[in-house]
Amino acid sequence: MTENHGVGGSIPPLGTIAGPSPSGGLTRTAVAREDERPHTIFQLPTPTLLLDRTRLERNVARMRDKVRELGVALRPHVKTAKSIDVLRVLSGGDDMPITVSTLAEARYFFAHGVTDILYAVGIAPVKLPEVAELIRAGCKLRVILDTPEAAEAVRHFIDAEGVRIEALIEIDSDGHRAGVAPTDPLLIEIGRHLGDCLAGVMTHAGASYDCRTRDEFEAMAEQERALTVAAAERLRAAGLPCPIVSVGSTPTLHYAQRLDGVTEARAGVYVFGDLVQAELGTCSIDDIAIGVLSSVIGHNRHHGRVLIDAGFLALSRDRGTGEMPIDCGYGAVCDPLTGALFENVTVSSTNQEHGIVTSVSGAIDFDRFPIGSRVLVLPNHACATAAAHDRYFVTRGEEAIIDIWERVNGW
Amino acid sequence: MTENHGVGGSIPPLGTIAGPSPSGGLTRTAVAREDERPHTIFQLPTPTLLLDRTRLERNVARMRDKVRELGVALRPHVKTAKSIDVLRVLSGGDDMPITVSTLAEARYFFAHGVTDILYAVGIAPVKLPEVAELIRAGCKLRVILDTPEAAEAVRHFIDAEGVRIEALIEIDSDGHRAGVAPTDPLLIEIGRHLGDCLAGVMTHAGASYDCRTRDEFEAMAEQERALTVAAAERLRAAGLPCPIVSVGSTPTLHYAQRLDGVTEARAGVYVFGDLVQAELGTCSIDDIAIGVLSSVIGHNRHHGRVLIDAGFLALSRDRGTGEMPIDCGYGAVCDPLTGALFENVTVSSTNQEHGIVTSVSGAIDFDRFPIGSRVLVLPNHACATAAAHDRYFVTRGEEAIIDIWERVNGW
């Protein structure tokens, strides 16, 4: 991989506002202007996504140690951060295999030198030409699928186009979303369609998010492992190749006791952590590495509401903590300098560009939220909140902006 | 305003995938390539946002006629479409005042020749330099506020920077979000802070979304009108200027019987309509002009689920119909060619890039959703769903792509 470009290396060119022009005025000039680059968070317009590099490094080290202890390779899911700069923190600059959720991520990371990529959403036949284009360019891109129809479509495309596309079969290890059960006759049928293009099996135990006790988490991690290994063994017993056995989610990896038979582990959201992860016990509130910096724009004293300029477009409408022991609304509110939570204060509702901040305990202390002051909103779900933004303002310590890192959104 | 550029006028340049390179590979090549521009929706990768031009024109005409009948000016809220091309359909190419929700929208529309802009989110003091930059460049940009502190900050900035910034006072007409009550002593205090920079009053009766009967809607529209006009009269009686009296939401304008004393009406989501608006009676299902084109990527026959490649990043996590008579989950599923709804079939849950489609009535007919086939998902909330995409693929009639229109997202 190439070196980190440092501050502003990937910021788009300055758009000037000199008058009406078809191309001008598309960038946030107060930020993008070279001679006015922000050094503290108080120079940033709001809403803005902040990333605490110290916390990121801590989260990355914790998972790296855990996966090393489990004795498998780590293939991080970059769908959370969607940033080559974040991946460089994970990889330390070495080659690292990755998991992606979109072909836009595959193109972006490949363009930045990453070659071993698993596209971990069931392949739609309409996307095969794009997959082939990346493979022909030298990318070791693999796809996943879980139906004979998709396997047939891939096989037909391979034969018609003369390109080798390797696929993993998605295994249903938890009844949560997708995949074929390890005991299902379809497993072998799909494997036979793929033949020598079968590269292995993979699963994601999304049901781990419904676990609440350590015993439940450990059992779910073992179930994820055992069912996926069983599927691999069944394929091998049928004479089919199955070199890769890939499992993972942030909760199951955090709680896993062993990964015998597994070759690689995947997890994504652990790099940032979030309020859901904190409730699941995979991180603490103090590990949450991203937050949305917002300005206080209104006081509605009659209704006990502080208004901020981060609404559902900046925070996302994720309500991940809604069914959890502590409901954080659309985000927990904290002091952007100290990181200290304002106790019982959450974003209780949102409109497009408005967040309504209230206190769970009733009265809110307006003096703590003067008009024009800043708050940091911690996300329920880091993947959803980060996706609302096109860049991170990276901080280290209390208020210094040390970097600006771009994201690759879209498809 | 300048002319519409036609097909692809604003599409970014082609990114090629010839191998790892720091700048390449960021665009969706299968779409952007000049010689492979899609002509039908079946050439589009998924997920993709479609916009039906015929429905858009019908929606635009309906609101234009209604507002003309009410005898006020229309200042559409462009936060829904965020597209100069959509605004050209509204304006017919004439000058038209607009409402924006971000300064990114203000910069973009000003760069495309729109000069009369109301930024309708309470101004944060940190944004005043950006506002001043647009005003100095010739943009008639006005801000809103509802506290003496914000008014003082604006006045201080005006005096310090020597730039004239006009502000409207936001009125609370429904207890729903922001604004100062028309009878509140703060109204006059804020007005006095602004002095000759007071341009008027504005409100948005967001509580209209809680109405269910025609009587309730009509009463809410009258309440929105009456309280805002009362606030204007109070300011005038105190010797303060109040030329602009601005009200509106799609539901209140749709149901309003009269707007005496009002000078302009604002509404946004009516241009596209959505499932929430259909339940509120401001449009029909057949008027909904946007939808997310998705591919069927999986069948989970054990759990009666069809999987599609549109998850919460493509659909948004808006659950606007969750509390309404017909709960459409994360979107209603229809045939992309005919527009016909699959009865009782919705996206019942989402992950980042997965939509889980189920039937409310129990069993789903898998034969109607073959692997690789396309469905169109109609949004609960058009503003939220459109914001997940950076462009519209514009269709007219059954399947032809007639245009590609960009959006301005972010802040």
A222 vs B14, residue with greater confidence: A222
Report the candidate in A357, A318, A356 with the shortest Cα–Cα distance to residue A341. A357
- Output the pLDDT for position A22: 33
* Whole-number percent of chain A with pLDDT over 90: 84
d(CA A138, CA A115): 7
B156 vs B361, residue with greater confidence: B156
The domain made up of A29-52+283-406 has a fold known as Lyase, Ornithine Decarboxylase; Chain A, domain 1 (2.40.37)
- Output the pLDDT for position A362: 81
d(CA A317, CA B197): 36
Quickly state the pLDDT bin for B369 (edges 50, 70, 90): very high
Q: What is the CATH number of domain A57-271?
A: 3.20.20.10
- Output the pLDDT for position B8: 31
- Output the pLDDT for position B29: 41
Q: Considering only the beta carbons, identify the residue of B124, B354, B409 that sits closest to A121.
A: B354
- Let me know: does B275 contact B331? Beta carbons within 8 Å: yes
Give residues 229 to 288 of B whose Cβ lies within 8 Å of A: none
Q: Would the CB atoms of B17 and A179 count as touching at under 8 Å?
A: no
Question: How does strand A391-396 pair with strand A48-52?
Answer: parallel
Total Cβ atoms within 10 A of residue B216 = 15
Beta-bridge mates of residue A213: none
pLDDT in tens, A69-120: 999 999 999 999 999 999 999 999 899 999 999 999 999 999 999 999 999 9
**Average pLDDT in chain A:** 91
pLDDT for A401 beyond 70: yes
Q: Considering only the beta carbons, identify the residue of A113, A172, A372 that sits closest to B153.
A: A372
Beta-bridge mates of residue B355: B308, B350
Tokens 């069983």 sit on residue: A230
- Output the pLDDT for position B230: 98
**Average pLDDT in chain B:** 91
Helical residues (DSSP H) of A100-213, grouped into ranges: 103-111, 128-136, 148-161, 186-194
The angle formed by the CA atoms of residues B84, B382 and A354, to the nearest 5 degrees, is 90
d(CA A227, CA A224): 6
- Output the pLDDT for position B35: 52
d(CA B212, CA B402): 37
- Output the pLDDT for position A375: 98
- Output the pLDDT for position A19: 34
- Output the pLDDT for position A244: 98
Q: Would the CB atoms of B28 and A410 count as touching at under 8 Å?
A: yes
- Output the pLDDT for position A23: 34
Long-range contacts of B60-69 (CB under 8 A, 24+ apart): B60/B89, B60/B90, B60/B271, B62/B270, B63/B250, B63/B253, B63/B254, B63/B267, B63/B270, B63/B271, B64/B90, B66/B253, B66/B254, B66/B256, B67/B253, B67/B265
B21 touches chain A (CB under 8 A): yes
- Output the pLDDT for position A303: 87
- Let me know: does A180 contact A228? Beta carbons within 8 Å: no
d(CA A216, CA A212): 7
pLDDT for B13 beyond 50: no
pLDDT in tens, A262-304: 999 999 999 999 999 999 999 999 999 999 999 999 998 888 9
- Let me know: does A374 contact A368? Beta carbons within 8 Å: no
> If you measure CA to CA, which chain B residue comes closest to A174?
B303
The structural domains of chain B, with segments of one domain joined by +, span 43-52+282-406, 61-268
Residues of A in contact with B307 (CB under 8 A): 122, 177-178
- Let me know: does B291 contact B378? Beta carbons within 8 Å: yes
pLDDT for A8 beyond 70: no
d(CA B113, CA B1): 5
> If you measure CA to CA, which chain B residue comes closest to A169?
B298
Q: Considering only the beta carbons, identify the residue of B103, B150, B298 that sits closest to A371.
A: B150
Three-state DSSP string of chain B:
CCCCCCCCCCCCCCCCCCCCCCCCCCCCHHHHCHHHCCCEHHHCCCCEEEEEHHHHHHHHHHHHHHHHHHCCEECCECCCCCCHHHHHHHHCCCCCCEEECCHHHHHHHHHCCCCEEEECCCCCHHHHHHHHHHHHCCCEEEEEECCHHHHHHHHHHHHHHCCCCCEEEEECCCCCCCCECCCCHHHHHHHHHHHHHEEEEECCCHHHHHCCCHHHHHHHHHHHHHHHHHHHHHHHHCCCCCCEEEECCHHHHHHCCCCCCCCEECCCHHHCCCHHHHHHCCCCHHHCCEEEEEEEEEEECCCCEEEECCCHHHHCCCCCCCCCCCCCECCEEECCCCCCEEEEEEEEEECCCCEEEEECCECCCHHHCCCCCEEEEECCCHHHHHCCCCEEEEEECCCEEEEEEECCCCC
Residue of A131, A309, A316 to mutate, testing the B interface (most B Cβ within 10 Å of its Cβ):
A309
d(CA B268, CA B365): 37
pLDDT for B375 beyond 60: yes
> If you measure CA to CA, which chain A residue comes closest to B320?
A317
- Output the pLDDT for position A231: 98
- Let me know: does B40 contact B63? Beta carbons within 8 Å: no
pLDDT for A192 beyond 70: yes
pLDDT in tens, B317-356: 999 999 999 999 999 999 998 899 999 999 999 999 999 9
- Output the pLDDT for position A40: 87
Considering only CA atoms, give the Rg of chain A. Answer: 23
Element (H, E) at A403: strand A400-406
pLDDT in tens, A28-56: 444 444 455 778 888 899 999 999 999 99
d(CA B45, CA B50): 12
d(CA B410, CA B387): 9
Residues of B in contact with A318 (CB under 8 A): 312, 317
Q: What is the mean pLDDT of residues A163-176?
A: 96
Beta-bridge mates of residue A358: A346
Residue A365 burial class via C-beta count within 10 angstroms: exposed 0-12, middle 13-18, buried 19 and up? exposed
- Output the pLDDT for position B32: 44
Q: Considering only the beta carbons, identify the residue of A24, A133, A390 that sits closest to B111.
A: A24
Q: Is A327 in a helix, a strand, or coil?
A: coil
Give residues 286 to 315 of B whose Cβ lies within 8 Å of A: 295-300, 302-303, 305, 307, 309, 312-314
pLDDT in tens, B229-242: 999 999 999 999 99
Residue A212 main-chain phi, psi, to 5 deg? -130, -25
Note the ipTM here.
0.91
Q: What is the mean pLDDT of residues B183-211?
A: 96
Q: Would the CB atoms of A408 and B20 count as touching at under 8 Å?
A: no
Quickly state the pLDDT bin for B2 (edges 50, 70, 90): very low
d(CA B45, CA A381): 27
Beta-bridge mates of residue A299: A306
pLDDT in tens, B92-145: 989 999 999 999 999 999 999 999 999 999 999 999 999 999 999 999 999 999
Report the candidate in B255, B246, B271 with the shortest Cα–Cα distance to residue B209. B255
pLDDT in tens, B257-278: 999 999 999 999 999 999 999 9
- Output the pLDDT for position A36: 58
Q: Would the CB atoms of A22 and B127 count as touching at under 8 Å?
A: no
d(CA B338, CA B271): 21
pLDDT in tens, B174-187: 988 899 999 999 99
d(CA B184, CA B171): 10
Report the candidate in B181, B176, B256 with the shortest Cα–Cα distance to residue B209. B176
pTM summary value: 0.92
d(CA B205, CA B216): 13
Low-confidence winner among A148-157, A172-181, A232-241 (lowest mean pLDDT):
A172-181
Q: Which pair of tokens denotes residue B343?
A: 């009865």
Considering only CA atoms, give the Rg of chain B. Answer: 23
Q: Considering only the beta carbons, identify the residue of B79, B309, B370 that sits closest to A149.
A: B370
Outline where DSSP puts E strands in A203-331.
244-247, 264-265, 290-300, 305-308
Quickly state the pLDDT bin for A315 (edges 50, 70, 90): very high
Quickly state the pLDDT bin for B23 (edges 50, 70, 90): very low
Quickly state the pLDDT bin for A11 (edges 50, 70, 90): very low
Q: What is the mean pLDDT of residues B359-388?
A: 96
- Let me know: does B30 contact B393? Beta carbons within 8 Å: no
Nearest Cα of chain A lies from the Cα of B276 at a distance, in angstroms, of 14
Q: Would the CB atoms of B319 and A317 count as touching at under 8 Å?
A: yes
Architecture of domain B43-52+282-406: Beta Barrel (2.40)
Quickly state the pLDDT bin for B28 (edges 50, 70, 90): very low
- CATH 3.40.50.10420 holds for B61-268: no
A13 touches chain B (CB under 8 A): no
Report the candidate in A83, A85, A122, A86 with the shortest Cα–Cα distance to residue A101. A122
CA distances from B153 to A167, B4, B100, B143, B148 (A): 60, 40, 21, 12, 9
pLDDT for A385 beyond 80: yes
B101 touches chain A (CB under 8 A): yes
